[in-house]
Structure 1
Amino acid sequence: MDTPPFPLPGLRVLLADAGQRRSPVIRLELIRLRCQLVDVLDLVAEPDALALTLARQAPELLLIDCEQPTPALLAQLSEAQARQPRPVLLVAEQMSSAQMRAALQAGVSALQLAGLPPQRLGALLQLALARFEHDQALHAELRHTQTQLAERKLVERARGILMREQGLDEEAAFQRLRQLAMTGGQTLASVASRLIDADQLLRPRQ
C-alpha cells in the first residue's frame, strides 16, 4: 500500500464546533486516524475566540464545523491566517457561491458541504494539507518573482546613474555594478540600492 503524501498520525488538529453536534463523531474518527485533537472550541459559547485559541494552541490544521460560515467567523479566520497561515478544512451544511469565495479568500484550504461522512475525514484532511502546500508554494513563487522584479528595477536605476555621472554605456555601467558587488561581497540589488540612496542624498534639491 502506498504511503499517503501527507501522513496524518500525530497531526495536531483544532476543532472549531459551531453547534453542529458532530464533535463526538469527529473525535472518534481523528482518534482512528491517529491525529492529535488539541482542543475543541465551542463557537456558540465563544464566538470571538477563534484567533486567540489558534494562537494559544498552535494547531497544524484547523477544522471548522458549522451550519454556514458567517462574515464574523470568516473575518476572524482571515485575521488568524494573516498572522500564521495553516491548512483549514471547513465543513458546512450549506454555502452560497459568494460564501464559498469568501471562505477561500479567508484562507480555507478545502470545503465539504452537506455534512461530514466520517469515512471521508481522512481524505478531506489530506486534501486540505495538499491544497495548503500548493497555495504556499504559489505564494512563495509570487514573492520571489516580485522580489526579482523590484531588484531588476533597482539595478536599472543604478545603471542609469552610472551612465549619467560617469559617461558609461549600458554594458560598462552594468560591469561596474558587478565589480562593486563582487568587491564588497554584496548582491547587485544591495549595491544598486546604496548607489541610488547616495545619488538622492548628493543631488541638489530643486
Structure 2
Amino acid sequence: MNTSLFALPGLRVLLADAGQRRSPVIRLELIRLRCQLVDVLDLVERPAALDDALTRQAPELLIVDCDQPTPALLEQLGEALRRQPRPVLLFAEQMSAAQMRDALQAGISTLQLAGLPPQRLGALLQLALARFEHDQSLQRDLRQTQTQLAERKLVERARGILMREQGLDEEAAFQRLRQLAMDGGQTLAAVATRLIDADQLLRSR
C-alpha cells in the first residue's frame, strides 16, 4: 500500500459495524471523500467474518464502529491484524483508559471517542494512515537492528573460532572471514554461519 501522500480518493475501505449502526452516515462521507467502500460487515451477526473479508476484499484501511471496544472485539481485531496488518480507525461511544491502551496494543492506528463527526472523517482517515506508516517504519527499523545485532554476534563467534583454530589475532581473523565472503560471493553472516556449523559438527564427533 502506498500511503506516502495519504491520498483518500480511491482508498479501499472496509467498514466493520460492531453494533452502532452508523454505517449509512459513514457510507455517505466516504462517498463524498471519493473512497471506495469495499464491504460493510456486521460483526454482531457475523463476528468471524473479519478475517475472510480482509483476505477477500484486501482493504487498505479498516473502520470499526462500536459502542465500546470489548475484550472480545479487541482480541478479534488483534488476531486479524497480526495476520494481515493494515491501518485501523476505531470509533467508540465510550472507552476507558485501559481499553484505549489495549486497543493500541491490538494494532488500532487511531481512536475516536464520543461519536462520529462526519466532517472530521477525512482527517481521521489520514491520521490512521500516517500512524500506521509510522508504526510500520519503526517495526522495520527494529527488525533491521535485531538482524544486524544477530549477524554481528555470528561474525564475532566465527572470528573466535578462527582465532582458536588458526592462531590468528582479531584483525587477521576478521580479514580472513571477509576474504572468504568475497571469494564465495556471500555475506559475512552467511560465511560465519557455515563456519560455526562446521565447527559444531567437528566438535560433536
**Contact kept? 1:51, 1:77, Cα under 8 Å:** no
Match of 1:108?
108
* Cα distance in 1 for residues equivalent to 2:42 and 2:204: 63
Match of 2:121?
121
* Cα distance in 2 for residues equivalent to 1:168 and 1:204: 23
User: Any gaps of 5 or more consecutive residues in structure 1?
Assistant: none
Match of 2:34?
34
| Structure 1 residues 64-105: Cα deviation after superposition (integer angstroms, max 9, x where no partner) | 000001111111111111111100000000111111111111
* Cα distance in 2 for residues equivalent to 1:57 and 1:182: 46
Match of 1:52?
52
* CA RMSD, 1 decimal: 1.1
- Give 1:22 deviation, angstroms: 1.1
User: What is the TM-score when the length of structure 2 is the normalising length?
Assistant: 0.96
Paired amino acid for 1:175:
Q
- Give 1:156 deviation, angstroms: 0.2
* Cα distance in 2 for residues equivalent to 1:49 and 1:67: 19
Match of 1:153?
153
Identity %: 85
* Cα distance in 1 for residues equivalent to 2:204 and 2:59: 55
* Cα distance in 1 for residues equivalent to 2:21 and 2:188: 59
Match of 1:80?
80
* Cα distance in 1 for residues equivalent to 2:149 and 2:19: 48
User: What is the TM-score when the length of structure 1 is the normalising length?
Assistant: 0.96
Paired amino acid for 1:158:
A
User: Any gaps of 5 or more consecutive residues in structure 2?
Assistant: none
Match of 1:196?
196
Give SS of 1:203's match: helix
* Cα distance in 1 for residues equivalent to 2:52 and 2:101: 24
Match of 2:63?
63
Paired amino acid for 2:162:
L
- Give 1:48 deviation, angstroms: 2.4
Structure 1 ranges of 4+ moved more than 3 A: none
Paired amino acid for 2:56:
R
Match of 1:144?
144
* Cα distance in 1 for residues equivalent to 2:14 and 2:91: 13
**Contact kept? 1:51, 1:76, Cα under 8 Å:** no
| Structure 1 residues 139-187: Cα deviation after superposition (integer angstroms, max 9, x where no partner) | 0000000000000000000000000000000000000000000000000
Match of 1:6?
6
| Structure 1 residues 27-47: Cα deviation after superposition (integer angstroms, max 9, x where no partner) | 000000000000000111112
